[in-house]
A and B are shown apart, each in its own frame.
With several copies, the nearest count.
Chain A
Amino acid sequence: MRAGVVIFPGSNCDRDALHAVALAGADAIPLWHEDPDLHGADLVILPGGFSYGDYLRAGALARFSPVMRAVAEHAAAGGLVLGICNGFQVLAEAGLVPGVLLRNASLRFEHGWVRLAVERRDTPFTALVPDGRTLRMPIAHGEGCYHLPDAELDALEARGGVLFRYAGPEGNPNGSARDIAGVLDARGRVCGLMPHPERAAESILGSDDGMLLLRSLVTSAAASGVAR
């Protein structure tokens, strides 16, 4: 199973994602933003960071990178894509997942540990998460306030597009609509997620809950890779 991690100029969680997804059992390779070839990746991760400095709007400039055409094609063909933090912002700007990430309600960068309720377990991203289990992982972003017009939110919820919500005493850190922390595209193959599972992949770092997500993904990608 090969996982490709895209490096945009300004990505700063690319090495973290490579490290964690390798721990989860994948053959992890870097993908360069100017190279429109995914080099056989079964799974593509858009990592966190500040692609193009987050200038203008987070994710707005990265979405035009040559690699994003390949990512869009991969997704269109049913390939798995996970966008973490800035990667979520890039996916949203590119229209690969619904919604917009506005500035945090506090108008500040927010770092901290949050708890995520997992809304569905029948997805490639959450298959291994035990029932009833919430996931603890860090957030670190300035623009993570999830927004969609109300009617579209209703539609998103109705189709099961909300995958993670902020929960527990730590609460909603950024003012996201309906506490949404992560969403799925219509086919359920592309996921955008503000918190950082790759930073919660080893207990020495405070939590290994993120591993449940990454292992789910690696397992599903391996299965679908065989299928294709």
Chain B
Amino acid sequence: MSTYRFAVSVMPKDGILDPQGRAVEGSLPHLGISAVHAIRVGRRVELSVDAAGEAEARAIVERLAGELLANPVIESWTIARADGEGRAG
């Protein structure tokens, strides 16, 4: 049994209204920033899974992401290792 840490990134699907992203974009001029665009705001969930192997752990995270962490009608998600290995993003 090992413990794996994952990060699930949940982002609004293309074409779905993202009022937060729009609001941030709207405030950029006040900060004197003009070079930034296409802002999307989503969620990042980090979690640890106890499992016999990475494949098993990942399957649990997959299920969690699809059923709970994201709403498939409006959001898409990606899963990445967030411990030593694949730490990124």
Q: Are any A and B Cβ atoms less than 8 Å apart in their complex?
A: yes
Considering the chains assembled together, what is the distance between the CA atoms of A57 and B27 in angstroms?
Answer: 13
Within 8 A of A (CB), among B45-85: 68-69, 71, 73-74
Q: Interface size of A by Cβ–Cβ distance < 8 Å?
A: 20
Considering the chains assembled together, what is the distance between the CA atoms of A93 and B19 in angstroms?
Answer: 20
Across the interface, which residues of B come within 8 angstroms of A61, CB to CB? Answer: 23-24, 27, 68
> Is A160 in contact with chain B by the CB < 8 A criterion?
no
Chain A 64-81, CB within 8 Å of chain B: the 1/0 string? 111000000000000000
Given A61-B68, A64-B68, A100-B71 in contact, is the A56-B30 Cβ separation under 8 Å?
no
Main secondary structure of the interface of A (DSSP, over half): loop
Considering the chains assembled together, what is the distance between the CA atoms of A65 and B68 in angstroms?
Answer: 13
Within 8 A of B (CB), among A94-108: 100, 102-105, 107
Across the interface, which residues of B come within 8 angstroms of A66, CB to CB? Answer: 30
Cβ-defined contact, B19 with A56, below 8 A: no
Across the interface, which residues of A come within 8 angstroms of B69, CB to CB? Answer: 56
Across the interface, which residues of A come within 8 angstroms of B23, CB to CB? Answer: 52-53, 55-56, 61, 107
> Is A147 in contact with chain B by the CB < 8 A criterion?
yes
Across the interface, which residues of B come within 8 angstroms of A60, CB to CB? Answer: 68, 71
Cβ-defined contact, A175 with B74, below 8 A: no
> Is B20 in contact with chain A by the CB < 8 A criterion?
yes
Considering the chains assembled together, what is the distance between the CA atoms of A42 and B26 in angstroms?
Answer: 31
Cβ-defined contact, B17 with A55, below 8 A: no
Cβ-defined contact, B20 with A64, below 8 A: no
Considering the chains assembled together, what is the distance between the CA atoms of A56 and B30 in angstroms?
Answer: 16
Cβ-defined contact, A147 with B16, below 8 A: yes
Considering the chains assembled together, what is the distance between the CA atoms of A105 and B18 in angstroms?
Answer: 9
Q: How far is the CB of A157 from chain B (nearest CB, A)?
A: 18
Q: How far is the CB of B45 from chain A (nearest CB, A)?
A: 8
Considering the chains assembled together, what is the distance between the CA atoms of A104 and B30 in angstroms?
Answer: 23
Considering the chains assembled together, what is the distance between the CA atoms of A209 and B22 in angstroms?
Answer: 37
Cβ-defined contact, B17 with A102, below 8 A: yes
Closest-by-CB residue of A relative to B21 is A55
Cβ-defined contact, B20 with A107, below 8 A: yes
Q: Which residues of B contact A (CB under 8 A)?
A: 16-17, 19-20, 23-24, 26-27, 30-31, 41, 43, 68-69, 71, 73-74
- Given A53-B23, A147-B74, output 6 extra A-B contacts at Cβ < 8 Å: A55-B24, A56-B69, A64-B30, A65-B30, A100-B74, A102-B16
- List the 6 shortest-distance A-B pairs measured between CB atoms, nearest first: A64-B30, A55-B20, A55-B23, A61-B27, A52-B23, A100-B73
20 pairs of residues in contact across A and B, judged by CB atoms under 8 Å? A52-B23, A52-B27, A53-B20, A53-B23, A55-B20, A55-B24, A56-B41, A56-B68, A60-B68, A64-B31, A65-B30, A93-B71, A100-B71, A102-B16, A103-B19, A104-B19, A107-B19, A107-B20, A145-B17, A145-B19
